[in-house]
Amino acid sequence: MPTKKVLYEGKAKQLVKGPNKDTLIQIFKDDATAYNKKKHKIFKSKGVLNNKISEHIMLLLTSKKIPTHFVKRINDREQLIKKCEIIPIEFVVRNVASGSICSRLGIKDGLKLKRPLLEYYLKEDSLDDPIVSRDHLELFGWATKKEIEKIDQMSLKINHCLINHFKKKGITLVDFKIEFGRLSSNKKKIVLADEISPDSCRLWDNKSKTKLDKDVFRKGLGNLIDAYEEVASRLGIVH
Ligand code: TMP
């Protein structure tokens, strides 16, 4: 079978045409990158794990009435998704301080935040994805005030669902990055897009604080696949 034309190639995923004009197929690759591609490595089967973990989370969120782009998993590496226009912002939710907030603001790593913190980063590799304010989003037309309000609400609800879900599996949801899009079939409809996986979250074992996410690769802490398999296994995903 001829391979389909790649419409978009990201660091860890590709998008190709779907079976109709309002769908796409999202393909999970084995590439892991960090520090804006300064670090890059292939981990055999990472894409398969992320595809299944993201499917599990998208289905959970759908059951909680959060609209997503996810339609179904097609096979080990591919999912059918609804086509949307991606808002060029990385929406980050933090529950515990770690990563860039610590280096940027001198906050202690592991500090539990009094309430979830919402941050916005412009998706622009050439600028190293700079942090921006809500006002920037509105003023430069990346999202309307109404869209930002909706996205903030959805982000907090997603955070609430995921904190509880991971907690039952002995995992602390430290932070995560999500993306949203406007459905091609209805531009007014905002949906959760992209993926939610250990590539885009910080997940710590509740007791030992062992890292079960991409920080294992970023910081060279051990075997990335073992960490992702641990997450998949705790979520009850057979790999
Ligand atoms: P940060 O601490 O580096 O700002 O990351 C916050 C969260 O967002 C963390 O869970 C990792 C995730 N993230 C991505 O998924 N992609 C990115 O490009 C960045 C910068 C962070």
Cβ pair 99, 200 in contact under 8 A: no
Query: Quick one: which of 32, 31, 3, 5 has its CA closest to 17?
Result: 5
Q: Is the pLDDT of residue 239 over 90?
A: no
> Which tens digit of pLDDT belongs to each residue from 29-59?
999 999 988 899 999 999 999 999 999 999 9
In a domain, 234, yes or no: no
Q: Both tokens of residue 181?
A: 């899009």
Residues 122 and 218 in one domain: yes
Residue with tokens 């992209």: 194
The verdict on pTM exceeding 0.85 is yes
Pocket lining for ligand 1, CB < 6 angstroms:
90, 92, 99-101, 129, 175-177, 200-202
Domain harbouring 175, CATH code: 3.30.470.20
> How far apart are the CA of 200 and the centre of ligand 1, in A?
6
> Domain end: 68, 84, 100, which one?
84
Domain harbouring 78, CATH code: 3.30.200.20
User: Which contiguous run of DSSP H or E holds residue 15?
Assistant: strand 13-17
Please tell me the predicted confidence (pLDDT) of residue 6.
Answer: 97
Q: Is the pLDDT of residue 3 over 90?
A: no
> Which tens digit of pLDDT belongs to each residue from 165-193?
999 999 999 999 999 999 999 999 999 99
B/e letters for 111-140, b = 16+ CB within 10 Å, e = fewer, are eeeeeeebbbbbeeeeeebeebeeeebeee
Q: Both tokens of residue 219?
A: 């910081």
> Which tens digit of pLDDT belongs to each residue from 76-126?
999 999 999 999 999 999 999 999 999 999 999 999 999 999 999 999 999
Residues 67 and 105 in one domain: no
Q: Strand, helix or coil at 205?
A: strand
> How far apart are the CA of 52 and the centre of ligand 1, in A?
20
Please tell me the predicted confidence (pLDDT) of residue 56.
Answer: 98
Residues 39 and 148 in one domain: no
For residues 91 and 162, give the distance between their C-alpha atoms in angstroms, rounded to a whole number. 15
